[in-house]
Amino acid sequence: MLIIVSLLCPIVSEAKFTNPMLDTLEFKEADLINVVRIISEMSDMNIVVTPETKNTKVTLFLRNVTVRNAIETICKMNNLWYRRDRVSNTYRIMTKEEYSEDIIIHRNEVTKIFTMNNLNVNLAADAIGNLYGERVKRSDSGTSFDTPGNSGGSSGGATSGGESDSGGGDKNSLNEELSIDQISSLATSGVSGNIISGRQLQILSVQKEPIYVSIVSEHNLVLVRTGDREALKQIGSLIKDLDRPIPQVLLEMKILDVLIDDKFSSIFNFEVNDVSAQGDSLQPIIFGNNGLSNEGTFIFEYMNDHLKANIELLQKNKRVNVLSTPMILASNNRPSKLFVGEQQVIVTGYTATAVVTEVGNNTAVTGGSVIPETSVKDIGNSIEITPFINAKDGIITLSVQQENSILRKGGGQISLVTSQGTIQTLAIDTINIAELEGTIIVKDNHTIAVGGLIRESVSDEVSEVPFFGKIPLLGRLFSSTIDNKQRSELILLITPRLLKNPEDGEFNKVEFNQDDRQLSVEQLSLQCAGLCR
C-alpha cells in the first residue's frame, strides 16, 4: 500500500538557483527518461520529461559540465528544448512543438480609427489589403476575426479629428514553427519563462505583424489594429491622400433634330475664314463631315460663333426642332442617365389559336382566334454620360451614349398561318432608333457639338379641294396624295462646367429671377452654369 502524505508549507516565490558540476557523463543509445534520472540522482536536481520525449535515444560523452549545459546539449542533439521553472527550480524537457505551443506572445498593438469624409470605406479597406497583401485580415461591421488563441483585445477611443488610437496588450500563442537556434535566441520573461514580446518574434521570423482592418459602413469608419507602428503611420498617410473630394461636372445639353434637304446637307458643313487672324491662308479651314462619303458617322466639333450663327439661322427658317434641353450633374467615373419620354405598349407579334373538339372517334379543328403579343418599351430621348475628370488641367473626357426613339404604329407586317392553313398578313409596331456613342475630350466651359446621325422618314401629304374632297368616292377626284421623304440629323450640344468641390454647386434661388419676371429654361440653365464657375 502506497500512502501519500501532503503537508502544507509556506510557498517560496522563487527557489534559489543551483547549477552543480558533473565530472563525467557517458551514454550509448540510452532512453532519455533513464538519462535524466541518472543526472537527477548525481546532481540532486529535479528534471522531468514529457511523454513525447521519454523514449528519445541519447548517445554522448561529456566532462566537467554543469547540469544546465548537459541538458542543453542533450536537447540540441535531439531537436528538443527545455524550460526551467523558477519557482520549483525544475527542468522540463519537451519537443520543439510543445515548447512553441506553450509560449505566450505579448503584443503591444495600437488601434486607430479613421473617419472617411469622401472616400468609400470599402475602397479604403481594399486599398490597404492590396498594398499589404496577406498581412491584412479584414472584417466588416457585424463580423469578427477568427484569430486562434486570442485571449484579449484592444479597443478604440472616441473619434477625434477624424481618427483616434489606443494601445492594447494582446497575448497569443505562438503558432509558427521555429528552429532550435531561433528558440534559443528568444528572451523569455515571466515566472514560468514562457512569455516573449511580439517585437522579438517579428525581428526573428520572416512573417511581419498582421494588420487587422474593419469597417463600419453606417458611420463611414475604418478601424486598423496592428503592432507595426511604421505600417500604421503609412496607412494614415495613405488614407489622408485618398480621402479627397470627388470632382463633379455640370453638363448642359441640347438635343436638336435638324431637317436636311437638297440645299443643306449637314449642319457641320461650314467653313471658317477668320479675317482677324494674322497672315493669309491659301485655303480656309474646313470643318465637319465634308470629306466623309458615308452619312451617320460619329463626329464632334467645338462650338464657336460660326456654329451658333448657323443654328440661329436654321431656327429662323424652322429647320431645327429642339427635342430636349437636359442638364445633368455627374460625378467623376460614374455614369449619369437621363430619359425623357414615355413607356408605350407595342405589338411585337401574334399567336394563332385553334379550337379542337372530339366527337366520338373523330377530331375536328375549328377556327380559333389571333392573340397579339405585346411588350412595354421606353420611347423618347435617353442619354448616358460617364465623365473622366482631370481636375488639375480642366480636361474632361466624356463617354457619351445617346438614343432617340420614335414609335411607328403598324410600321411593319408579318405573315401568320391560321388554324385553317391560310396565310394572314398582320401589322406590327416598329421603333425608329437613332443612336450616338463615342468618347470626347473637351476643356472646361467649352461647348462641343456631336452629330452625324442622319435619319430618313416617309410621310403622306394629302392636298384636297375644300368640301369636294370630303365627298365619298368622288372626293378622290378633288384630292392628291404625295409621298414626302424627309431627312434629319441628330445633333447633341454639350457644355461641361467643372465643379472641383461640392460647395461649388451651391447657388441662391433668388438669383434665378430678374426684375421679378420668370426666366426661360435656357436662361435659367445659363445662369445656373454661371454661378457654378
DSSP 314-354: HHHTT-EEEEE--EEEEETT--EEEEEEEEEEEEEEEEE--
**pLDDT attached to residue 463:** 74
Q: How far apart are CA 111 and CA 130, in angstroms?
A: 20
User: What is the rounded average pLDDT of the residues 27-48?
Assistant: 88
Q: Hey, what amino acid is at 432?
A: N
User: What is the rounded average pLDDT of the residues 279-300?
Assistant: 41
Phi and psi, residue 63, nearest 5°: -130, 140
**pLDDT attached to residue 263:** 52
Q: How far apart are CA 348 and CA 342, in angstroms?
A: 18
Q: Which of 278, 98, 114, 115 is nearest to 194 (CA)?
A: 98
**pLDDT attached to residue 311:** 62
Q: Of 19-23, 94-98, 507-511, where does the model show the most confidence?
A: 19-23
Q: Which of 108, 281, 99 is nearest to 188 (CA)?
A: 99
**pLDDT attached to residue 515:** 39
> 1 or 171: whose pLDDT is higher?
171
| Cα Rg of the chain (Å, integer) | 44
**pLDDT attached to residue 5:** 30
Q: How far apart are CA 393 and CA 410, in angstroms?
A: 52
Residues forming CATH 3.55.50.30 domain(s) in the chain: 21-103
Reply yes or no on whether the pLDDT at 351 is more than 90: no
Cα–Cα separations (whole angstroms), residue 256 to 59, 318, 447: 99, 12, 14
Phi and psi, residue 281, nearest 5°: -100, 135
User: What is the rounded average pLDDT of the residues 412-416?
Assistant: 85
Beta strands in 156-312 (DSSP E): 163-173, 195-197, 211-216, 221-226, 248-260, 271-272, 285-286, 299-302
Reply yes or no on whether the pLDDT at 317 is more than 50: yes
Task: Please classify residue 475 by burial: count the beta carbons closer than 10 Å to its beta carbon, then call 0-12 exposed, 13-18 middle and 19+ buried.
Answer: middle
Binned at pLDDT 50, 70 and 90, residue 285 comes out as very low
Q: Name which CATH class applies to 107-141+209-244.
A: alpha beta
Q: How far apart are CA 387 and CA 250, in angstroms?
A: 10
**pLDDT attached to residue 8:** 35
Reply yes or no on whether the pLDDT at 173 is more than 70: no
Q: How many other β-carbons are positioned within 10 Å of the β-carbon of residue 309?
A: 11
User: What is the rounded average pLDDT of the residues 58-75?
Assistant: 88
Reply yes or no on whether the pLDDT at 519 is more than 60: no
Question: Mean pLDDT in the chain?
Answer: 71
Coil/strand/helix, residue 56: coil
**DSSP symbol at 507:** -
Angle, CA of 30, 32 and 38, to the nearest 5°: 80
Residues forming CATH 3.30.1370.120 domain(s) in the chain: 107-141+209-244
In Å, the largest CA–CA distance within the chain is: 143
CB 456 within 8 A of CB 432: no
Binned at pLDDT 50, 70 and 90, residue 300 comes out as low
**pLDDT attached to residue 287:** 40
**pLDDT attached to residue 51:** 87
Dihedral, 317, 318, 324, 329 alpha carbons, nearest 10: 10
Which pLDDT tens digit goes with each residue over 216-227?
A: 888 889 999 888
Cα–Cα separations (whole angstroms), residue 265 to 115, 199, 220, 229, 452: 58, 78, 56, 70, 11
Query: How many Cα atoms within 13 Å fall on the side-chain side of residue 456?
Result: 7
Q: Which residue's C-alpha cell is 521555429?
A: 178
Q: How far apart are the first and last CA of the chain?
A: 102
Interaxial angle between packed helices 67-77 and 32-43, expressed in degrees from 0 to 180 and rounded to the nearest 10: 170
Strand partners of residue 289: none
- Lowest-pLDDT range, 360-369, 380-389, 435-444, 473-482? 360-369
CATH: 3.40.50.2020, 3.40.50.720, 1.20.58.220, 3.55.50.30. Which one for 21-103?
Answer: 3.55.50.30
**pLDDT attached to residue 346:** 92
> 344 or 368: whose pLDDT is higher?
344
Q: How many other β-carbons are positioned within 10 Å of the β-carbon of residue 29?
A: 7
